[in-house]
Chain A
Amino acid sequence: MYKLLSRKLLGDGYKSAIRSVLVAVIIWFSLHSLEKTIPIAQKVIIITGMFYTMTVMIQTLTSQDNAKCLKGLFAMPCDEKRTLWEYTAVVGIYALTTKTSLLFALLFAFCKPEPLQIVILVLSVLYSILGTIAGYGSFKKMPAVTGALVVGGIAMAMLLPEGMIAAAVLAAADIVAAVVLSLQKLDSYRVSENTKVKAHRTKGKPKMLLWRYVMRYLAAHKNYLLSTVIIIAFSCYLAINFDDQGMKMGCGIGLAMISLNTPMAIIVSSNRGLKRKLEALPDKTPRFFIPYGIVLFIFYMICYALFLTSFGIFGGTVDLKAFITAPLFAAQAAFAAALMEDKFTITKWKTEPDIWHNPRKYITPVVLTLEAALIYMVF
């Protein structure tokens, strides 16, 4: 089981995992050699690490692509407990080596953490891994347990003081998550395909085709909506932190961060059949990619409205600049996503998380962050 799963997620002989770690080391070394220091609060590093790892874990656990592989594996006779821990190990190593390592390379390139802070970070990421898998397994039969693990994670990320107390609380939380995980049954980790078939009757000539298509795509992937809400919440938290530190561009950076929301921007990359059909049909740009860009623009505007409302409620400064920047950023993010899906479709992927975390996704947020800095410095 471990070998089969690790071959799929981590590559033959851990090749894919090793390559990702090496890339992270190279990125860290290159950025670190610039000798620039940016003050990043420990809390920001922990929250970023925890939520990012958690998101990758959820995406991997719910991946339809992995479901096909797991369907066969879970059907084989096995020692359930051992298999569950092996599954946890593979998914955890996958999240850490191929995804979280890159994030930490970026964060640690510009700050020098104390040994205790590293211990706290390791414990918090461990909670993300154990807590997410335990919470995922409990979700159907004991949603209250899942809720407690999520609330516990958020509370620790937000409220824990620095120092030994944080380490002790996180270590205790890791043990609790491990105990909950050890009580799970392997069956809870099957990803079932949706078998409900709903009729979508069309009256007259159907209109707003791409809007319907994208909305159904979102409705079919509830986890995409959840990840959108998480990104908005994370952007809001980050922006408020920047605001509190006296950095006026917090709101702009929050708006830029929302364009990290990947699922909406990979609708073609994630479906090779759709990519081929679009290439085979005439007029793909006016018939598909322009309406797709418009739908994305509306979607980003809704996200920005939610962000600005939350940001204002929690004491952030929402000024005229924010209202001018929001539609500009939404238009750019939508245009960039539609353009990249048309001209730079991600085709060489093995698992769905490979698309979600393709380096392509960082281009727009980086450009928008730079623009936000420029706008808030100049005006």
Chain B
Amino acid sequence: MGEILTVKGLKGWYTADKPVLKGLDLDIEENSVIGLIGLNGAGKTTLMNIICGLHDGFECSSVKMHDKAVTFKDKAFMKSRYIVFSEDESFGYFNFDEYLTYVFGCYGKTPDDAYVNELVERFGFGEHRPKLIKDLSLGNRRKAYLITGFALRPDLLLLDEPVNGLDFNSTETLYSLIAGYKEFGTVLFSSHILESVTLTSDKVIVLENGVITKTYTGSDINAESIRASLGTEVSEGDV
């Protein structure tokens, strides 16, 4: 299995004297699910934003997509990834179908209507489809963005704390979709919910104080060892 994205020596900051990311190396394998966990302020969202070209305060020794040097703002790289933000109030005056059409247009793709309908049904989103995104509740808005992401099937799907605001059934659906995404590409997602990474991930990266302190793979991915590495921030109820 090759890497879709490799980043070496990534440093990120908001103010130069206080780096958030302190020289981390990241290997994101093709067709895999990678969970990113860490305490508040560990740098998870900053890392996601840098990968999406949204944060300029960074430097790194190399960025490669499929072993070819790229920048995070290269058009080819941008068209290979999609992000669902942890908080999002964009395109509030579109309904779901309009948003979906707009996003697919940006990626030069045509939606698979049958698959979109299936996702809408699985997330229990049907009755909210014609509503404007601004009128949706936090959870339903999150569903609209998630359905778009999964329907788009980018090579790299980034999800920043995707579980927040979702009801029980939708959370189950989300876990199932994340785990099954390997068929289409790679999911890199951050979470505070330990269960979400243990149930879905092929690799779990622990981010602490701006560096990757531990990486778990295969049978090493279990709640006890991950919780031990994080201290008590991840609550028992989350597992």
Contacts and interface: CB of A to CB of B under 8 A. Distances in A.
Interface stretch (A31-39, A223-231, A272-280, A365-373): A272-280
B14 interface: no
Contacts of B90: 271, 273-274, 276-278
Contacts of B106: 281-284, 287
B91 interface: yes
Contacts of B132: 197-198, 200, 216
A236 B27 CA distance: 63
B53 A279 contact: yes
A276 B52 CA distance: 10
B85 interface: yes
Contacts of A280: 52-54, 83
A291 to B, nearest CB: 10
Contact of B98 (A198, A212, A273, A283): A212
A199 interface: yes
A28 to B, nearest CB: 37
Contacts of B101: 205-206, 209
A356 to B, nearest CB: 19
A201 interface: yes
A216 B95 CA distance: 11
28 contacts: A197-B131, A200-B95, A200-B130, A202-B98, A202-B130, A206-B101, A209-B105, A212-B93, A212-B98, A213-B94, A214-B93, A216-B132, A217-B93, A271-B89, A271-B92, A273-B87, A273-B90, A274-B89, A274-B91, A276-B54, A276-B90, A277-B90, A279-B52, A279-B53, A280-B83, A281-B78, A282-B107, A287-B105
Contacts of B54: 276, 279-280
Interface string A215-254: 0110010000000000000000000000000000000000
Majority SS at the chain A contact face: helix
Nearest to A277: B90
B131 A199 contact: yes
Contacts of A287: 102, 105-106
Interface in A251-297: 271, 273-274, 276-284, 287
A341 B94 CA distance: 19
Q: Sort chain B's interface into a size bin.
A: 20 to 34
Closest 10 interchain pairs by CB? A277-B90, A273-B89, A199-B130, A216-B93, A282-B78, A273-B90, A202-B97, A197-B135, A201-B130, A274-B90
A216 B52 CA distance: 29
Interface in B32-86: 52-54, 75, 78-79, 83, 85
B53 A212 contact: no
Contacts of A220: 93
B88 interface: yes
B103 to A, nearest CB: 7
Contacts of A217: 93
B91 A277 contact: yes
Given A274-B92, A277-B91, A282-B106, 14 more contacts: A198-B131, A200-B130, A202-B97, A202-B130, A205-B101, A209-B98, A209-B105, A271-B89, A273-B89, A276-B85, A281-B78, A282-B78, A282-B107, A287-B102
A40 B40 CA distance: 60
A282 B54 CA distance: 12
Nearest to B79: A282
B197 to A, nearest CB: 23
- Counting chain A CB atoms within 10 Å of each CB, the highest count among B88, B98, B105 belongs to B98
A213 B131 contact: no
A199 B98 CA distance: 13
